[in-house]
Amino acid sequence: MTKLRLHDAPFAPNPRRVRMFLAEKGIPLSGGPIEHISMNLVEGAQHSAEYREKSPLGHVPCLELPDGECLTESRAICTFLEAEFPEPNLMGRDGRERARVEMWDRRVELLVAMPLMMWVRHAAPALAKIEKNQNAEIGAWYAARAAEFCGWMDQRLGETEWVAGHRFSIADITAVAGFDFAKMMKWRPAPEFANLARWRSAFDARPAGSVGP
């Protein structure tokens, strides 16, 4: 099989989701089925005409398949990888479990990870060069939403070991990608969220926990 070309960038949370997913599958970024291409977003590599042909929105990650088709949404890339490399399963084994994992993955993405990412994009001085229209007030609004939903996630993790239930899944990866991006704002979940802390220690002990920014 010809290699799958993964267009990636350091310090970007969405391609990191794919790298964490690959780590859990035991697939290395070199020497295996993946050809890893690291791009510099600050220098604008995502805007080159050549890259825009692969990813019209100029976003990473992008997974270029051997026949040239390009997948450019991190979750869609994970769906493809799950089908190609089914074990260990990270997205649910039957229809019911797949639906449950998707439900939790969308919740943590839309209610926790996305608000955290939007906060950072609007407020982190280091991103001013990429984000042309930063707005501190909008950033603060997102920060408040994320904090609110962290409480809800803490409650959930008081009932289940992992976000989507008793098994580790893509939903845990999505949440950690959002949490860690917010470290750019020196953010950490509030210390009273003991369930979140327990979950995070368990995450860090897994293969995905060793994937750098």
Ligand X SMILES: N[C@@H](CCC(=O)N[C@@H](CS)C(=O)NCC(=O)O)C(=O)O
- For ligand X, the binding residues (CB under 6 A) are 12-14, 41, 46, 58-61, 73-74, 130
For residue 5, give the H/E element and its range.
strand 4-8
* Contacts (Cβ under 8 Å, ≥6 apart) of 145: 111, 115
Give me the least distance between CB of 167 and ligand X, in Å please. Answer: 22
Q: Which is nearer to ligand X, 157 or 177 (CB)?
A: 177
Return the number of the residue (93 or 106) whose C-beta is nearest ligand X.
Answer: 106
Least Å distance between CB 156 and ligand X? 22
Q: Which is nearer to ligand X, 102 or 154 (CB)?
A: 102
Tell me how long the chain is.
213
Strand 34-38 and strand 4-8: pairing? parallel
Main-chain phi, psi angles of 163, to 5 degrees: -60, -45
List 6's β-bridge partners, or say none: 36, 63
CB of 77 to ligand X, least distance (A): 7
The minimum distance between CB 38 and ligand X, in angstroms, equals 13
- The β-bridge partners of 34 are 4
Residue whose structure tokens are 């088709």: 69
Instruction: Compare residues 157 and 163 and give the one whose CB is closer to ligand X.
Output: 163
